[in-house]
Chains A and B, each alone.
Chain A
Amino acid sequence: MTVLRGAFLALLAAAIGAAAPLAVAAQDSSSAATPTLAAPPDTARVAGPVSACDGCPPKRPITAVLMGLATNVFINRFDTWVLNVHDPLPDGYYTRVTPQSWGVNIRKGWVFDTDAFQVNMFLHPYQGGTYFRAGRSNGLNFWESAPLTFLGSLEWEYFGEKTFPSLNDFYNTGFGGIVIGETVYRFVSVIRDNRATGMSRVLREVATFPLDPVGTVKRLFSGELWRVYGNPGEHAPPPLALQVQAGVRQARDSGLTGARSIKGVLIAELSYGDAFADRYKAPFDVFLARAVISPGPTPIGEFRVAGRLYGTELTNTSAPARAIFTVQQKLEYAESPAYKFGGQSIEAGFVTAIGVGRAIELRTEAFVEGIMMGAVDAQGEPDTAGVSGTPRTYDFGPGVGLDVAATISVNHFPVLAARYHWSMVHSVSGSPADHFTQLPSIELALPITNTFGVGAHASWYARRSAYVGRPGEVTTFPDFRAYLVWRTRPRTASPEPQ
């Protein structure tokens, strides 16, 4: 019975979001006819929401807001009726919201919650991404879609759960949602092909559903799912390169036993755009996304995305050594047997490219980082971090960081990559501490063919925690990997036929 109710509500929530375009279309016609502009009458009569291109959806902000709301209604009802989610006290059946719980949440205000690391640092950004893509799938651009992640988060925190609104969720859903939302939007735009037909079209649409369920539902109800029409500009992306590493990993458990484990590991890295191939056009026209998958309670052990928000060339584009001032937004999530670290940050710095001969290239990057909301675990001793008696084994807080990297590529195949990340996170929830982390890492790859090779990775995560009123703590966590590596050569999709 609850499954049926869940299915019904799922359809209802999807229909609310998707039917909105129809209602809004009528709204658009009437508003467009209002003589508020000195536009030619014919234009005013036919003018509806504005499309940026042939394949771009019309701009419909109200629909986007309603779809974000429908997403929250759907998640809440699915959790309540289908999953019947329940947490130990004090949360209980936390999705069974009532007007009374809404009132309590509004009166009481914000807290830092005690949820598990993966929930806070990965699932909330993913949820935020659905709000963002509601904007993108309704024709809004990057900046116009960004506020939707915060609005969706506010709705969820105040009205989607009985637990008090959580400040860390607001930051992670809001800022993380922008990163995941735009990354996924650009990625699924490459996969989707509005001009494709038959099985190719079906497979493309099915493949994008897990990544962009909100966009797929919207396409279903608007008819875009099967209509043959133009593609948005993002369908023909800048240079794309995918690298996959598959092998084994040895890491030390961060628990008290410090047990060493050897597990399989799969690493996928997507490089979208090339800062040195095209001038800055729009946010996230260049980004790097990296995911590490390893067997265990949290299969996605690492997820890091850094996307360019702004860039300006400081050198001549034909110079042998070039430098670009870059501002980028970063989402970092790492939950491995070795350590936990995550955060939402903004970085500013320089990327450089130096050509050595025709086939060899050295690229470097150096960024200073402002961490808006970081999370660091510190379980070296009992109760040194987090909130005792809860899944929270980590601290929250803002911080600063430094990110430097250098990569040597031969014929576009990165043979040597070194990276160093330093951060200081000032804990505001958990233990009274300042956490200093360092993560030097090096990757070596030996190409066997143009696209295939073998490689190895070594990193050494080190954390020093300075506690108030108690001795500090220093811990190190080595991590070694050996793998086969396969990498596509950077390629650009064929231009859209006119």
Chain B
Amino acid sequence: MNAPRTLRPGRHVLALATLLSALAAAPAAAQAPAQAPDTAPAPKRGGNFWIDAGAGYAWLRLTSGQNALNGQRLGGVTAAHGMAVTVSAGGSVAPNVLLGLEYQTWSAAGKNPVDQRVRSVLAVVQWYPWAGIGLNVRAGTGVVQGPVEPDTVSAASAQGTGVGFALGIGYDFPMTRHLGLSLQFGTHIAAFGDVTDNRGKISHDVIGYVTQIGLAVVFR
């Protein structure tokens, strides 16, 4: 029986080294029988509440019309720098698996002709491969929405609602038994699809990639 997952200080050096090497070693470790040291046990099965709140630098890359069949559907690529704020909460469903909802909003930094924002609400699952180590992998899917600028030439705003998914990795640095900081890196892929901008132009297959590196306060 695993004890509840808690955050414990004093493993930071190990954490940094592990963060870099863990992904490469993950399959081999997963192949071995489960025998990781149980110094900081994984979340307890069944309903332990968790919440994360964080922010960080995020970069939006927006593509459109990639699946071009003719000149009518050809699109382009735009990019913008900005900031993303993420809040996630849920419960644990297995000793090392968290399930929850994640809300993220990204907005462009500085003065831009178009006020671009990408918001997403996703159902996410977060997996800690090893008990006692804060490395985690997060994935999710849900709905995305926002005004974006699919074409820098026309500098027009297009409102879109679509489907999105997220992939990311993180590392929890414990501060107290239940509180810690988490370094997070990931991408939200926001498929707005076909959108019509405020000048009436249709852009096909508009897909945004919000790539973020940030820091979050985590409660387990």
Chain A residues whose C-beta falls within 8 Å of the C-beta of B33 in the assembled complex: 28, 31-32, 47-50
Return the 6 tightest CB-CB contacts between A and B, nearest first: A428-B193, A37-B35, A111-B67, A31-B32, A428-B162, A429-B193
Known contacts being A24-B31, A398-B143, A432-B196, is A36 close to B37, with CB within 8 Å? yes
Residues in B109-156 with C-beta less than 8 Å from chain A: 139, 141, 143
Q: Bound state CA distance, A143 and B127, in angstroms?
A: 11
* In the complex, per-residue mask of A25-39: 1 if CB is within 8 Å of any chain B CB, else 0: 001100110101101
User: Is B193 a contact of A372 with CB atoms below 8 Å?
Assistant: no
Closest Cβ of chain A: how far from B69's Cβ, in Å? 6
Assess whether A325 is interfacial by the CB under 8 Å rule: no
User: Is B163 a contact of A397 with CB atoms below 8 Å?
Assistant: yes
Chain B residues whose C-beta falls within 8 Å of the C-beta of A61 in the assembled complex: 27, 30-31
Q: Bound state CA distance, A167 and B193, in angstroms?
A: 10
Considering the complex, give the chain A residue whose CB is closest to the CB of B137.
A147
User: Is B27 a contact of A109 with CB atoms below 8 Å?
Assistant: no
Q: Bound state CA distance, A271 and B202, in angstroms?
A: 46
Chain B residues whose C-beta falls within 8 Å of the C-beta of A37 in the assembled complex: 35, 37
User: Is B191 a contact of A60 with CB atoms below 8 Å?
Assistant: no
Known contacts being A109-B66, A114-B67, A396-B193, is A62 close to B35, with CB within 8 Å? no
The interface centre, meaning the residue of B27, B68, B205 with most chain A CB atoms within 10 A of its CB, is: B205
Closest Cβ of chain A: how far from B192's Cβ, in Å? 6
B residues near A (Cβ < 8 Å) are 27-28, 30-37, 61, 63, 66-70, 94, 97, 139, 141, 143, 160-163, 165, 189, 191-194, 196, 202, 204-205, 207, 209
Closest Cβ of chain A: how far from B186's Cβ, in Å? 15
A residues near B (Cβ < 8 Å) are 24, 27-28, 31-32, 34, 36-37, 39, 47-50, 60-62, 65, 90, 108-114, 143, 147, 150, 164, 167, 170-171, 372-373, 387, 389-390, 396-398, 426-432, 468-469
Chain A residues whose C-beta falls within 8 Å of the C-beta of B160 in the assembled complex: 428
Considering the complex, give the chain B residue whose CB is closest to the CB of A63.
B31
Closest Cβ of chain A: how far from B96's Cβ, in Å? 11
Given A108-B63, A111-B67, 13 more pairs with CB closer than 8 A: A27-B28, A50-B33, A50-B34, A61-B31, A62-B28, A90-B69, A110-B63, A111-B205, A112-B67, A389-B69, A397-B162, A428-B193, A429-B205
Q: Bound state CA distance, A469 and B35, in angstroms?
A: 61
Q: Bound state CA distance, A171 and B163, in angstroms?
A: 10
Chain B residues whose C-beta falls within 8 Å of the C-beta of A28 in the assembled complex: 31-33
User: Is A429 a contact of B194 with CB atoms below 8 Å?
Assistant: yes
User: Is A398 a contact of B162 with CB atoms below 8 Å?
Assistant: yes
Known contacts being A112-B67, A167-B207, is A428 close to B163, with CB within 8 Å? yes
Closest Cβ of chain B: how far from A30's Cβ, in Å? 9
Q: Bound state CA distance, A430 and B162, in angstroms?
A: 12
The interface centre, meaning the residue of B27, B28, B67, B162 with most chain A CB atoms within 10 A of its CB, is: B67
Chain A residues whose C-beta falls within 8 Å of the C-beta of B27 in the assembled complex: 61-62, 65
Considering the complex, give the chain B residue whose CB is closest to the CB of A310.
B93
User: Is B97 a contact of A143 with CB atoms below 8 Å?
Assistant: yes
Known contacts being A31-B28, A427-B193, is A110 close to B163, with CB within 8 Å? no
User: Is B163 a contact of A373 with CB atoms below 8 Å?
Assistant: yes
Chain B residues whose C-beta falls within 8 Å of the C-beta of A429 in the assembled complex: 191, 193-194, 204-205
